[in-house]
Structure 1
């Protein structure tokens, strides 16, 4: 469901791509006319930190298609025109709750993000294509030394989809929730007790450069861990980090067939992969080749793009999503029928996405967005309801 963010000066238009699959979940048949124009979001500060918190609600209006921000009342404000170089954006910050307190804002029908930062406001800029997202893998990004994170959501006539995400980075912890139309509440994204520090400790202990994903402030305070795709970009991880596993997969499926059943509700829709001439070709039940994949590199796997591009179509995209999940979870050698449904089988190979493995191991319910298609098999940290009463975002302790 989640897509990658692009590098430093990518405009807010990327958020439309990133959340495009969220919108596709809301099929017309799911629409509920009772979904109001805005719903309340209860933000609770359980971080234990004393500095001010700043909240931002940024995205694309699903009413007008404009990019902009919402104030605390849920009123939409379009961004003014940007420039080259990017110009400062209007201050869209909302004063967040004090320690131990709760603040309620309103969420409009958006496809976007709720950012929150500690101690300092975020520095947003506007270019000709829209909003420049923070890209802290770039050492010159003005937000590099700010402690912050974000949640992603879509609210439309089909309901609310709200998640916690580590697709780009792991940083200050938070959990999300929704009160459903029947009054019940569901939550996800919370770490185990001690899980925040445990993630960093495990990354440092993992051989192969995984500790290099961790970024610190000038005073040595830990700020975040970059996702491995960004780790490749910064040189923290070697480009060959997944090569051994990829080579073994390609060798296996030169003599064995990989069966992909990409839709859980369509068990008879299957595609069959076999490597020939160093290319994995997929055929349908009639034997016709429907799509092919070059041997992917680590960047293609970690970010689920390039050689594992996943267009929003009925064939290549679903197969690519499944391959991406299988590579990140290292299940392709142990199970020729993908996706592997059991999380007990994930990350067992010594060559795997250790970043995602470690984060999943430290979440209370085992759910996370450790990579872009972690929703394959529903292992993602997402809450959804077709008729939400309110949403929740809890800033959890840094421990």
Structure 2
């Protein structure tokens, strides 16, 4: 899940799937049932946008699942074609079709979203930027990949927590899985808990001029925009660095490969990881809060077999504050998460308000399978349910 920087271009979206098998079992499009249980009277606008897995073009899909490539953009960015699909009215359902893409399903209440095209591609909403034209629109999105290996569909809070919704899939055997529902009253409880959390976390909440809460920014965006103090994780990060100056951090990044282990020790400002032969395989400068919350920069995680898996493990340990209490990572037991005062309170608060405890509150929340994701290799139907705000 990418944390979209202000004004950033949609160049690519995370693909959850493994490479497709030689023979496809999944049709070119599948039905997506949209259900509006929001209780809101405003019209709903739905968008399916993403990158074609056939030829890599960016574009959008209409209600029938037909893919349309975006036209050329400009400098400054020019308005994108209207890709909106009328959503279901309150209390109603509507079925559209979604094609094989790696992309997002946006939905907005009351107003259509503003999308523009630059020379490099689509400019997505970036509401951490106060001048973004979508700043006062109530909206959210789900992320999905549909390919020959199946469907991966999640609810995400990696960039923000906003309009509540859940996702689901009907599997090939007819059973249904869903995730993303909040506990009763959970929507406003998230905002109230952030406002009550000392240390500047209240600054993540964005409201309309009348005080109506619209969303909470992720802490990474909060740090980047000054809404959350950049020093908010310094104490915890310093304690971790001090601990592993004299102790060893053991990372076993692959659950199915218990023999693959790496050993971290801090020297000065750097944590070096060695393999079983004692050779240094990768090193990390002491991260800052932005690197921790975004799982990037000083905790960059390339798509490789060594640094990326170690980094994602470190990132999960920092956000969940398990690195001081367990020198063997990843720690996948939710009972140990978020127990230190120096933790990702945004992630803690969201997970605590989810009906099944699952969420994508930071980029590598899937470490240990704590993410709000549904998947099937041959899906019959997908679901997106707009949930009540109260």
TM-score range, shorter chain: over 0.9
Q: Do residues 81 (structure 1) and 79 (structure 2) align? A: no
Indicate which of 10, 14, 21 corresponds to 1:19: 14
Counterparts of 2:268 and 2:345 in 1: how far apart (Å)? 30
Residues 63 and 96 of structure 2 are in contact (CA less than 8 Å); yes or no, is this contact kept in structure 1? yes
Q: Do residues 212 (structure 1) and 207 (structure 2) align? A: no
SS at match of 1:307: helix
Q: Equivalent residues in 2 for 1:331-342 (5 A)?
A: 331-342=322-333
Residue equivalent to 1:124? 115
1:276, distance to aligned residue in structure 2 (A): 0.8
**TM-score, structure 1 normalization:** 0.97
SS at match of 1:268: coil
Residues 195 and 201 of structure 2 are in contact (CA less than 8 Å); yes or no, is this contact kept in structure 1? yes
Q: Do residues 318 (structure 1) and 316 (structure 2) align? A: no
Counterparts of 1:28 and 1:212 in 2: how far apart (Å)? 43
Residue equivalent to 1:370? 361
Residues 159 and 221 of structure 2 are in contact (CA less than 8 Å); yes or no, is this contact kept in structure 1? yes
After superposition, give the CA deviation of every residue in 1:19-77 in whole Å (9 maximum; x if it has no partner).
14x1xx32345x76220000000000000000000000000111221100000000011
Residues 160 and 215 of structure 2 are in contact (CA less than 8 Å); yes or no, is this contact kept in structure 1? yes
After superposition, give the CA deviation of every residue in 1:8-27 in whole Å (9 maximum; x if it has no partner).
222220xx2x414x1xx323
**TM-score, structure 2 normalization:** 0.99
After superposition, give the CA deviation of every residue in 1:185-211 in whole Å (9 maximum; x if it has no partner).
000010001100110110010001101
After superposition, give the CA deviation of every residue in 1:199-248 in whole Å (9 maximum; x if it has no partner).
01100100011011000112221100000011112211111100000000
Residue equivalent to 2:173? 182
1:341, distance to aligned residue in structure 2 (A): 1.4
Counterparts of 2:224 and 2:242 in 1: how far apart (Å)? 28
Residue equivalent to 1:256? 247
**RMSD between aligned alpha carbons?**
0.9
Residue equivalent to 2:214? 223
After superposition, give the CA deviation of every residue in 1:150-169 in whole Å (9 maximum; x if it has no partner).
00000000000000000000
Counterparts of 1:350 and 1:8 in 2: how far apart (Å)? 29
Q: Do residues 153 (structure 1) and 152 (structure 2) align? A: no
Q: Equivalent residues in 2 for 1:229-378 (5 A)?
A: 229-378=220-369
Structure 1 unaligned spans of 5+: none
Counterparts of 2:201 and 2:299 in 1: how far apart (Å)? 23
Counterparts of 2:160 and 2:53 in 1: how far apart (Å)? 27
Counterparts of 1:58 and 1:32 in 2: how far apart (Å)? 26
After superposition, give the CA deviation of every residue in 1:233-290 in whole Å (9 maximum; x if it has no partner).
2211111100000000000000000000000111110000000122100000111000
Structure 2 unaligned spans of 5+: none
Residue equivalent to 2:8? 10
After superposition, give the CA deviation of every residue in 1:123-165 in whole Å (9 maximum; x if it has no partner).
0000001100100000000000000000000000000000000
Residues 32 and 158 of structure 1 are in contact (CA less than 8 Å); yes or no, is this contact kept in structure 2? no
SS at match of 2:166: strand
Residues 20 and 147 of structure 2 are in contact (CA less than 8 Å); yes or no, is this contact kept in structure 1? no
SS at match of 1:54: strand
